Structure 1
Amino acid sequence: MATAFPVDENPGSDVPRCEIRAEVPVPIEAGGRTLTARMVTFSGLVDGREHLALVFGEELAPVPLVRLHSECLTGDVFGSGRCDCGPQLREATDRLADGGVLLYLRQEGRGIGLYNKLDAYVLQDQGLDTFEANRRLSFADDERDYRAAAQMLRALGVDGIRLLTNNPDKAAQLTASGIEVHDSVSTGVFLGAGNRRYIEAKVLHAGHRIALTEVAPA
């Protein structure tokens, strides 16, 4: 599915520029292949975090496919089945391999951090969903700020993208920060026994573009 997003008259006016700090080619595994990605670090990011860009292919397309992936230690590294983050990351590296960009953002737990995310898991085991648990811990539903992602894209010379996401907030925030989102491309639905309620909550609370019929009980 593809959705166009409008561009503000003066987008990104409050988002400063950042600079590329270093870049290095690194071989990675993606889709059963060994690929070389340029790993790029930055100076001057608005949130001061150590976000990372992986740039795939010999050269970027004029309007490259881009994935904003928020760090998920439990899912990305340990293969947790409580979310769909690990499968989404692996899907993204495969789909971006021929000239896309992956921004790996240090925003664990939708921005609340690893320890707080695990505290939220405790509350989820008591019956709350992932958004209700965040609220019980006095956090917003989603604490993530994507201005740094816009900075990173500009530093890479990218101001127009196709965005690989189901989350409309990513497109809205990037557009407000001066990045033209030409269309939004849905990710797959990675449903497992342990993440059904999590995926349903993303649809119901945050408007993720996943048809609930796809995750309804058989």
Structure 2
Amino acid sequence: MRQVEISKVAKLPTKYGIFNIQAFKEGDREHLALFTDNLGETPIVRIHSECLTGDALSSKKCDCGEQLSFAQEFIGKKGGMIIYHRQEGRNIGLLGKVNAYALQDKGFDTVEANHQLGFKADERTYEIVETILEHFKIKKIRLLTNNPKKMSSLSSVEIVERIPIRIVSNPYNEDYLNVKKSQLGHLL
């Protein structure tokens, strides 16, 4: 297993139910596992990449905050785990993300903006996700995602089912979602 510091497990009551929470510190990044008591043999798992603007500030430029809320409600009812993957802005960080937003304000799409800043369309890696799943001895999952890269990036677990996330677009994220579908292959 990778060099990762792991916290104790604590209870986290939320508006979607009572979850358990555990932190995984890898270098200077701290990721979270939010999970129910009833994980089961093949749990539903959401790998949610951090999006401060969507998750905490309710941005309408993306669908991230709505996906997180959907996942919490869905997993709160059915059981499973959310891995809060701390790789902000497809792993370009807040500074890069805000600069990408500024380019998007000038007409660049999300992929073009990343390229203009010298980044790939998606800089995320998923090794820590596999480490977290290994910690919980999870070998098979039902993955709650629209992102095929998340499915192909997990080699240590079997994905027995992909569960789609359905979010209604708005005037601010319609083009963003179209780019995710047409250029990044998201299954929307």
- TM value normalised by structure 2: 0.94
Counterparts of 2:90 and 2:133, CA distance in 1: 20
Identity score, percent: 41
Which residue of structure 1 lines up, in the alignment, with residue 73 of structure 2? Answer: 94
**Is 1:84 equivalent to 2:66 in the alignment?**
no
Which residue of structure 1 lines up, in the alignment, with residue 163 of structure 2? Answer: 185
Counterparts of 1:48 and 1:151, CA distance in 2: 16
1:68-147 correspondence runs (5 A): 68-97=47-76, 98-147=78-127
Q: 1:174 aligns with which of 127, 141, 154?
A: 154
- TM value normalised by structure 1: 0.82
Contact 1:28/1:36 (CA < 8 Å) preserved in 2? yes
Structure 2 gap segments, 5+ residues each:
none
**Is 1:207 equivalent to 2:179 in the alignment?**
no
Which residue of structure 2 lines up, in the alignment, with residue 150 of structure 1? Answer: 130
Which residue of structure 1 lines up, in the alignment, with residue 33 of structure 2? Answer: 53
Which structure has the higher relative contact order (CA within 8 Å, separation 6+)?
1
**Is 1:38 equivalent to 2:20 in the alignment?**
yes
Q: 2:8 aligns with which of 9, 12, 22?
A: 22
Contact 1:20/1:155 (CA < 8 Å) preserved in 2? no
Segment drifting more, 47-56 vs 90-99: 47-56
Counterparts of 1:87 and 1:152, CA distance in 2: 24
State the number of aligned residues.
Answer: 187
Counterparts of 2:66 and 2:30, CA distance in 1: 23
**Partner AA of 1:91 in structure 2:** F
| Partner SS state of residue 206, structure 1 | coil
Contact 1:17/1:154 (CA < 8 Å) preserved in 2? no
Q: Deviations over 1:124-145 (max 9, x none)?
A: 1111100010000000110000
**Bigger radius of gyration, 1 or 2?**
1
**Cα shift at 1:182:** 1.0
| Partner SS state of residue 19, structure 2 | strand
**Cα shift at 1:207:** 0.4
**Cα shift at 1:193:** 1.0
